[in-house]
Amino acid sequence: MSLLEVKNLTIQFGGLKAISDVDLEINPGEMIGLIGPNGAGKTTLFNAITGVVDIAQGSITFDGKNLSKYKPNQIAHLGISRTFQNIRLFSKMTAEENVSIGISSVADYDIISAFLGLPNARKKDRETREKAREYLAQVNLLEYKDAIAGSLPYGIQRKLEIARAIATRPKLLLLDEPAAGMNNEETMELIEFIRNIHRHNETNMAIILIEHHLEVVMNLCSDITVLNLGSVLTRGNPEEVQNNPAVIKAYIGERRSRA
């Protein structure tokens, strides 16, 4: 059974159909790429899966559950986690605290224990802190644990956001342009980073990767879906996609219209 099944999905903003009649499927442990020119509806698709925009038509099923019945925070607890195109870290909090919100987004002790700093609360806090450090160590960010997230270098912030997302132990991870704004060297490093977290995780995590840099997707994903103007243009392996005239046209058309 597939982990996520998007069926005939349509998303509308007023008169604009940002997504129209899109189908998408991903199995546990898979990593698929999602590409397409600006405004193709990639981020909107992520927003629909995470429950922040309303579905006009169609359905999204995750792990056998119809997601339209769940609120965004409940969807997170079902096992979907994401990063954002524009980094959205808790910028005034430390790296460690960012990850620890991912580990338990619901306080695991009561308010009175919190006010009085009772031993059970302190013990739980200590456990969370230790776990957060484990995650940071796993992604080689331990040295930044006490740094304020907003003051970290851009590339590190991107990684920290991914670390925070996987700290929720998701079954499905959505990465929205993780390489945006990175130079070549940083991008190559990020590719290895993503490959690593995909291989070494406890939940057989599936990943959907949005990326403008084709070399990133081509490098990581054997199955790529191309969106254009809200619809699926084509899907296939990297060569098929790269040599598809329609894809080339969509990208070139974009470049022309921008010029």
Partner 1 sequence: MYQYLSGILTIIAINVTAVCGLTVLTGFTGLFSMGHAGFMSLGAYASVIAMLYWHFPFIPAMIFGGLAAALVGLIVGYPTMKGKMRGDTFAIAMLGFSETVRLGLSNIYPYINGALGISDIPRYSEAWVVTLIAAFCVYITYRYTRSKHGRIALSIRDEETAAELIGVNITWEKIKSFMISAFFCGMAGCMYACYYTFITPNTFSTTTSNNLLAAVVFGGMGSVTGPTIAAAILAMLPEMLRFVQKWRLVLYGAVMILVMLFRPEGLMGGREFSIKGIARWFRKIFSKLNRRAGEVSK
> 104 is in the binding site of which of partner 1, ligand ATP, Mg ion, none (Cβ under 5 to 8 A by kind)?
partner 1
> 10 is in the binding site of which of partner 1, ligand ATP, Mg ion, none (Cβ under 5 to 8 A by kind)?
none
Report if residue 88 touches partner 1, rule: CB under 8 A.
Answer: yes
The region of 58-66, 114-122, 193-201, 240-248 touching partner 1 under the rule CB under 8 A is 114-122
Report if residue 44 touches partner 1, rule: CB under 8 A.
Answer: no
Task: Give the 3-state secondary structure of the chain.
Answer: CCCEEEEEEEEEECCEEEEEEEEEEECCCCEEEEECCCCCCHHHHHHHHCCCCCCCEEEEEECCEEHHHCCHHHHHHHCEEECCCCCCCCCCCEHHHHHHHHHCCCCCCCHHHHHHCCHHHHHHHHHHHHHHHHHHHHCCCHHHCCCEHHHCCHHHHHHHHHHHHHCCCCCEEEEECCCCCCCHHHHHHHHHHHHHHHHCCCCCCEEEEECCCHHHHHHHCCEEEEEECCEEEEEECHHHHHHCHHHHHHHHHHHHHHC
Report if residue 93 touches partner 1, rule: CB under 8 A.
Answer: yes
Report if residue 119 touches partner 1, rule: CB under 8 A.
Answer: no
- 167 or 207: CB nearest ligand ATP: 207
> 36 is in the binding site of which of partner 1, Mg ion, ligand ATP, none (Cβ under 5 to 8 A by kind)?
ligand ATP
Minimum distance of partner 1 from residue 257's CB (angstroms): 30
Report if residue 242 touches partner 1, rule: CB under 8 A.
Answer: no
Report if residue 164 touches partner 1, rule: CB under 8 A.
Answer: yes
